Amino acid sequence: MKIVIIDYGMGNIHSVAKSIQVCGVEPIISNKKSEISSADKIVLPGVGAFDDAMLELKKLDLISVILRQVDCKKPFLGICLGMQLLLESSQEAEMNKGLGIIKGQVVKFNSAPGLKVPHMGWNDCKVVAKDCLLLSGISSGTQVYFCHSYYPQPSDKSVIAATSNYGGEFCCVLRQGNVYGVQFHPEKSQALGLKIIKNFVNLC
């Protein structure tokens, strides 16, 4: 099995790679279109700003190859900023649209007394899509690790697989066909995070 982690200079790549290794697969870290095209599964990590991330994907001419692999029904996982890029736009972005794979917008947490932004630390993951293979064996309410100021707000609520709560309920896992996104960091979420990574590795 060939799992490619897309390297566009914005991701927590080595931690993600290590978590996949622990699950029994040696991933390939690459920004080469040929490597991405020949992958069986693809991971798009991300840490940083939405505009910067889309700009780097454009510079590397990776947008069209990403969209083709999604159209080919290959399992695809976006992590944190990589999940946000799956949507059409972001309140953070001044210049660039997202990949538009999932309809909707990325929005910022509202500042409120006692609510620190960015949202950092452990929080509950409430499973709402019991048939989501990425969350197979995950108990609803188990804690995962977050570090973000923005979160996805999909137009079609049926793609929401799990939610969390930080000043209000927000989407933390998306699932649309072969495409998955997690707002938290599974590579930093200890045993639970490894279970989610292993579920992705085992997807058919």
Q: What is the pLDDT of residues 1-39, one digit of tens each?
A: 999 999 999 878 999 999 999 999 999 999 999 999 999
Separation between Cα atoms, residue 19 and residue 17, nearest integer Å: 5
Domain covering 3-201, topology: Rossmann fold (3.40.50)
Distance of CA 98 to the CA centre of its chain: 13
**d(C-alpha 154, C-alpha 169), whole Å:** 13
For Cα atoms 38, 45, 140, give the angle at the middle one, nearest 5 degrees: 110
Which residue among 23, 80, 132, 171 is the active-site one? Answer: 80
**Backbone phi, then psi, for 138, in 5-degree steps?**
-95, 125
User: Of how many residues is the chain composed?
Assistant: 204
172 is catalytic: no
Q: pTM for this one?
A: 0.96
Mean pLDDT of 154-180: 97
- Active-site residue, 14 included: no
Is-catalytic flag, 185?
yes
Per-residue pLDDT reduced to its tens digit, 69-99? 999 999 999 999 999 999 999 999 989 999 9
**Taking the domains of the chain in order of start, what are their residue ranges?**
3-201
Given the residues 92, 119, 132, 187, select the one marked as catalytic.
187
Tell me whether strands 104-108 and 119-127 are parallel, antiparallel or unpaired.
unpaired
| Beta strand pairing call for 169-176 and 41-44 | unpaired
CA distance 170 to 15: 25
Opening angle at CA 40, ends 11 and 180, nearest 5? 55
